[in-house]
Amino acid sequence: MRLRYVPLGVAILGLLATVVAVTVSARSFAALQPSNIPAWLHAHVGEGDGQIAAVVLERARALYLKKVAAGAVKNPCYFAMDATRPGDLGNGVLGRRYYIICEASQSFRAISSGHGGGRNLKGNVNFSNGRRCAKNFGNAMDSELTAGGAYMTREAKTSFKGFYRTGAKQDTAFLRTFIQFDGEGEAANARQRVIGGHAAQVLRGMCLRKNPNSSYADHEGMVPFGKLVDYAGGRSNGCTSWSAADATQLIAMVKGNPTTLYIYPESRDIAAAASGHSASSSYWNASCLKEIGTPKFWPRTTLEPIIAQYKKDHPAPPPQALPICKGS
């Protein structure tokens, strides 16, 4: 058999073409492989209201499975939040961007949740967020910003906030439970920042009323009294806030039985969106991105010195005693 002479350059080009073809085929094959996410859960993946973006689910699920494998979590459910989505859809409708996923019972639920409001240090720097969409993120102390990343739910702390009126001459004690979070990586200072989850309720317009028979009365027989305000879907001081009804359910799920919470986006996702070259592993809600323009992550090394200097230049006024309620 006669051997045909093939120039060396042609042979190398042919070999490269073969390698490229094999590589492309391998990638195509990998892309066609079914995800390990269960089929029933795939039905909830998407970018519409009440759906969860693929990258958010993948990271939340990976975090949960990692903690389960390590024996740190026995809870059958895990949580996720997508802070790039709008919190307020208008006309009194709240955006559903906090996810409760229980794979054993094939349960998926999306609810509303607030994001960190940030702050406007007037005359210095503004890293505040609007009610609908979050533009600024960060992990600095006293920044009141949301920090994305991996969290674990921890202990529950219930505290008395005061009384509020529920009917004619009928007052009710307002007890709010706070679930402490412990974070990892960029969110490792979550406990130091007192970051956690609670009902989006607060007492406003506080004053003191005489009620010596109350177990909450001070040494002068006075108790704090205010108006109960619900700010579900609004902004928080960096914590995850839920409606009162949802908070009751979530707190019951994790009290004494910790689980994982993954909050999106992380600083790498913010950097990708800000550069305009979003990586395949990142995404941003299109509606909010159009509204905020360029998102920004404020690292604590940058922001904490600014906040500290602002506090020094603008010291807080001394605390004042609550006034006596009118007509009490």
Q: Any bridge partners for residue 157, and if so which? A: 178
Task: State the pLDDT at residue 210.
Answer: 94
Task: State the pLDDT at residue 277.
Answer: 64
Find all residues with CB under 8 Å of 258, minimum gap 6, and list them.
72, 73, 75, 152, 153, 154
> Which parts of the chain have pLDDT scores under 70?
1-35, 233, 277-281, 328
Whether the CB-CB separation of 197 and 240 falls below 8 Å is answered with yes
Task: State the pLDDT at residue 282.
Answer: 79
Find all residues with CB under 8 Å of 322, minimum gap 6, and list them.
206, 207, 208, 224
Task: State the pLDDT at residue 275.
Answer: 87
Closest CA to 320 of 208, 236, 159, 227: 208
- Cα of first residue to Cα of last residue in the chain, in angstroms, is 113
Task: State the pLDDT at residue 233.
Answer: 65
Buried b (16+ CB within 10 A) or exposed e, 73-100: bebebbbbbbbbbbbbbeeeebbbbbbb
305 — phi, psi (to 5°)?
Answer: -65, -35
Cα distances (angstroms) measured from residue 274 to each of 222, 269, 290, 291: 52, 9, 12, 13
Instruction: Give the count of beta carbons closer than 10 Å to the beta carbon of residue 62.
Output: 14
Rg (the chain; Cα; Å): 26
Task: State the pLDDT at residue 99.
Answer: 98
Residue 19, exposed/middle/buried by CB under 10 A (0-12, 13-18, 19+)? exposed
Q: Any bridge partners for residue 228, and if so which? A: 203
The C-alpha torsion from 33 through 36 and 37 to 40, rounded to 10°, is 80
pLDDT in tens, 277-322: 655 567 999 999 999 999 999 999 999 999 999 999 999 999 999 9
Task: State the pLDDT at residue 237.
Answer: 82
Task: State the pLDDT at residue 168.
Answer: 79
pLDDT in tens, 80-120: 999 999 999 988 899 999 999 999 999 999 999 999 999 99
